[in-house]
A and B are shown apart, each in its own frame.
Chain A
């Protein structure tokens, strides 16, 4: 069985969540892997890879005092995972438009059909309550080549969405 677990944590944003959770895990001898932590709609969310010999029950016990005290929702899942396997994205795509149902589904479906492999997606709703706008940034790999990707971009554009693609040319030296 994999020693890696994925910890998901959600709660009201407040100072000290990361410090207290990671300290509690550190004290059990756990090792941390890749993590993504961000504020979404006023909530603090964490996805954190944790490597530990302990069971999920034991890990839950170790963070329980912090979880209770800070009113968080948490869960560990056993995952198959490994580190040092980053794939280098070759493009960044920006999508924005009036917030309307289906915009994300349409854009990502067109990209999927072009063989686009998303490595990172980050989206936001901005504007105002009355006139929300949707902004999305995607990084990924054009597995079927830039031409297929450019065609997908044109197709998304034709549906009235503002979309733009910039190649990422990583300099390695």
Chain B
């Protein structure tokens, strides 16, 4: 097991498109162990994508279960993931282990469904909402060479609230 080095922007490699995984072998399994360890070593990291450690395959891990009071699917190993449906939009604050010392507002779908293979090469379906959906979309962007910096909206746009329009 090892914590891998995280590529940091402006490293151009982060802009690279990652290739699908074809072999679900021991090499993949040991990489997954290291990738997960790297994610957990980062302060507050709830997701990581393989290209962030210089491995340009379509692999991401998302685990938001440490956050209190939110819906989640536990630790998701996402191999060759594909988002099938998008629903709703919400602005939220994001940061990235590959972009230290900056956080910014990004619009993401509030609810998504996706398909991905797990470590054993079995196809899985997931439904994600809110914070978890945001994390998945952020990680999948990395597989396409996109950073949250490519999707910034104004800091002065306050759309955090999804109010029920009732006077408290």
Chain A residues proximal to chain B, CB less than 8 Å: 84-86, 88, 92, 94, 120, 122, 137, 164, 166, 168-173
Contact = CB atoms under 8 A, between A and B. Distances in A.
Contacts, number: 60
Contact of B95 (A94, A164, A170): A170
13 contacts: A84-B100, A120-B155, A164-B161, A166-B160, A168-B93, A169-B131, A170-B44, A170-B95, A171-B131, A172-B42, A173-B46, A173-B96, A173-B138
B160 A92 contact: yes
A26 B100 CA distance: 26
A172 B160 contact: no
B158 interface: yes
A173 B160 contact: no
A173 B93 CA distance: 11
B54 interface: no
Contacts of B155: 120
Report which residue of A94, A122, A173 has the largest number of chain B beta carbons within 10 angstroms of its beta carbon. Answer: A173
Nearest to A94: B158
A92 to B, nearest CB: 6
Interface of B: 42-49, 62, 67, 92-97, 100-103, 131, 134-135, 138-139, 155-156, 158, 160-161
Given A84-B101, A88-B103, A137-B158, A173 B67 contact: no
Contacts of B96: 172-173
10 shortest interchain CB distances as A-B pairs: A173-B47, A172-B95, A170-B93, A172-B44, A84-B101, A173-B138, A166-B160, A171-B94, A171-B134, A168-B93
Contacts of A122: 156
A88 B99 CA distance: 14
B161 to A, nearest CB: 6
A30 B135 CA distance: 38
A166 B102 CA distance: 20
B156 to A, nearest CB: 6
Given A173-B46, A173-B48, A92 B94 contact: no
A128 B96 CA distance: 42
B161 A166 contact: yes
B92 A173 contact: no
A169 B93 contact: yes
B156 A173 contact: no
Contacts of B43: 172
B158 A172 contact: no
B74 to A, nearest CB: 16
A169 B95 contact: no
A86 B102 contact: yes
Contacts of B95: 88, 170-172
A168 B103 CA distance: 11
A155 to B, nearest CB: 16
Nearest to A173: B47
Given A86-B103, A88-B103, A122-B156, A172 B46 contact: yes
B148 to A, nearest CB: 9
Contacts of A94: 158
B158 A171 contact: no
